Every structure is written in structure tokens, then in C-alpha cells.
Amino acid sequence: MKHIARKRFGQHFLTDGGIIDAIVDAIAPQAGQPMVEIGPGLAALTQPLVERLGHLTVVELDRDLAVRLREHPHLSVVESDVLKVDFTALAAQMQQSADLPQRIRVVGNLPYNISTPILFHLLAHVEVIEDQHFMLQKEVIDRMVAKPCTSDYSRLSVMLQWRYDMDNVLFVPPESFDPPPRVDSAVVRMLPLAKPPVVDVRTLETLVQVAFSQRRKILRNTLGKWLDEKGFGGEFDVQRRAEEVPVAEFVALAQAV
């Protein structure tokens, strides 16, 4: 029976063979590597990945799809909301079963309606991740890789660039899916930085959220007040807008606070 895409799960199934091959080539899976695919759906990416890897762990929320996926002899299926998956524990489990001490690779065609929460959820588990390759709404990736002083530069840009080196590696048009989404898509490569700046993540998150809460206002009116409440007496130019402050300066300020 044909599976009908479910709107509540944000399902858009990839069907373009050329795009699938290009994504797999960008991921470059090698036999034996521990890999997790988020949202395998109808296994368009899953099958070519598992053919190269030998075995693949998949996270699928849709019960009907999970039943189908369990019939595959080379898949381990985690039937769950990805936002509830402990990737640190999952990585430990995968390494123990395969006797492999290396970090896991994570890939997937992420549901566009919860893509940002997924990215932040994975950020909390970045220590056990080798790399990430995700298909996302193109405008989200534009924000992820944006530079300061551009309209796309945002809280998402800062919080991810602090921890990852990222590249937009492939454009994917709507007609590559069934049903086609109303937006353009793209594939992003995310490599965790080997030596990221040491910073209290909660402080950085709060600071950046306050700074971008009214992005068109001068920081004196938002972040400046927050710094005053914290008793911050250091140097920081609040006569700028949030979009003018480089990632390194946000990190340095969080360290100082």
C-alpha cells in the first residue's frame, strides 16, 4: 500500500534519483562507519547509504513507516520523536555493539516544521558527533551560514557557527519531492570544530537571544540593559545592532560575563 505523506509530521519524500546520488556522494559513507539517519521516510536515502555502510541506525516517528523499516535486515530502527532521542546514549550503544570508539555521523531530510529545534537538540550532543549532513529549507541554511552585517545573520547563525564549520553543499528544487514543498531546499554540511571556544552555553544562548530579540534596535536598548543587570563592567560596543556583531565577539562577551 502506498504511504500517504502526513502533514503533521512535515513529510516530503525525496524522489529525484540524481539528487539522491548527489547527496550520498556529498556524505561519502564508508563501510563500517556508525551513522544515524533522522526521518528515513520511504528509504530513498536509506537504501543507498546502507549499501555503502553495511548497517544503519534510523530514527522514525511515523509508526507505519517504522514497521516497514524494521523489515530491512541491515537497519536498527529507533521509533521516536527525534527531539526525545538521547544521541549521546545512542552513540554509546552503537559503539558498544560494534566495538567502535569513534563518533557517530548524523544525516537526514529534516522535517521543515521543526528543523531549528532539531539543530539545537543535536548541539547538546555535539561531543559524540563526527559530522552532520541535513536537507533543510534553503532559507534556514542561508541563516545558518550567514555572515555579520547581512539580513540573514541571526541567533541561529551565532549559536551554530560558535560550534560548527558549515557549508551549503547542494541546492534541491521542490520538484525533487513528493509532495513538493512550497519552498526551495538545500543540503548543509556541519563539521564540529575540533577546538571550539570554551564558554558557558546557557550564558551564550541567553545573551544572543536578548541581543536578537529586537534586531533592528541598537543593542543599548536590549543587550545593554541586560549587561547592566548582570553588573558587567567590561568593554563592549552597544551602539551597534545585533547583526553587526561577529560570532567571536558574542562568545568573548559571554566568557567575560
Task: Give the β-pairing of 35-38 and 56-60.
Answer: parallel
Confidence (pLDDT) at 1: 43
The answer to whether residue 3 scores a pLDDT higher than 80 is: no
What pLDDT is stored for residue 99 in this prediction? 63
pLDDT score recorded for residue 9? 43
| Residue 4 binned pLDDT confidence (cut-offs 50, 70, 90) | very low
231 pLDDT above the threshold of 80: yes
**DSSP class per residue in 113-154:** GGHHHHHHHHHTTGGGEEEEEEEEEHHHHHHHTPPTTSTT--
User: What are the φ/ψ torsions at residue 94 (nearest 5 degrees)?
Assistant: -65, -40
Lowest-confidence segment of 94-98, 161-165, 204-208 by average pLDDT: 94-98
The string of pLDDT tens digits covering residues 83-136 is 999 999 999 998 876 666 679 999 999 988 899 999 999 999 999 999 999 999
pLDDT band at 7 (very low <50, low <70, confident <90, very high): very low
Contact between 193 and 123 under an 8 Å Cβ cutoff? The reply is no
Enumerate the known binding-site residues: 12, 14, 39, 60, 81, 109
Question: What residue spans in the chain does CATH classification 3.40.50.150 cover?
Answer: 7-192
More confident residue, 3 or 143: 143
Q: Which residues are annotated as a binding site for S-adenosyl-L-methionine?
A: 12, 14, 39, 60, 81, 109
Cis peptide before 179 (omega within 30 of 0): yes
pLDDT of 102 reads: 78
What pLDDT, on the 0 to 100 scale, is given for residue 146? 97
| Span(s) in the chain for CATH 1.10.8.100 | 201-256
pTM recorded for the entire structure: 0.90
Domain 7-192 in CATH 3.90.650.10? The answer is: no
pLDDT level of residue 226 (50, 70, 90 thresholds): very high
Q: For residues 139 and 164, what is the distance between their CA atoms, to the nearest angstrom?
A: 18
Q: For residues 85 and 97, give the distance between their C-alpha atoms in angstroms, rounded to a whole number.
A: 18
What's the pLDDT tens digit per position in 132-156?
999 999 999 999 999 999 999 999 9
Instruction: State the average pLDDT for the chain.
Output: 92
Q: Is the predicted pLDDT of residue 215 greater than 90, yes or no?
A: no
Q: How many helices (H) and strands (E) does the chain have?
A: 10, 9
What distance in Å separates the CA atoms of residue 185 and residue 18, rounded to the nearest whole number? Answer: 15
* Cβ–Cβ under 8 Å, residues 114 and 84: no
Position 254 pLDDT exceeds 70: yes
pLDDT at 10: 46
- Residue 37, CA atoms < 13 Å, CB-side half-sphere: 29
pLDDT value of position 100: 62
Q: For 19-74, write each residue's pLDDT tens digit.
A: 999 999 999 999 999 999 999 988 999 999 999 999 999 999 999 999 999 999 99
| pLDDT interval class at 11 (50, 70, 90) | low
CATH number assigned to the domain covering 201-256: 1.10.8.100
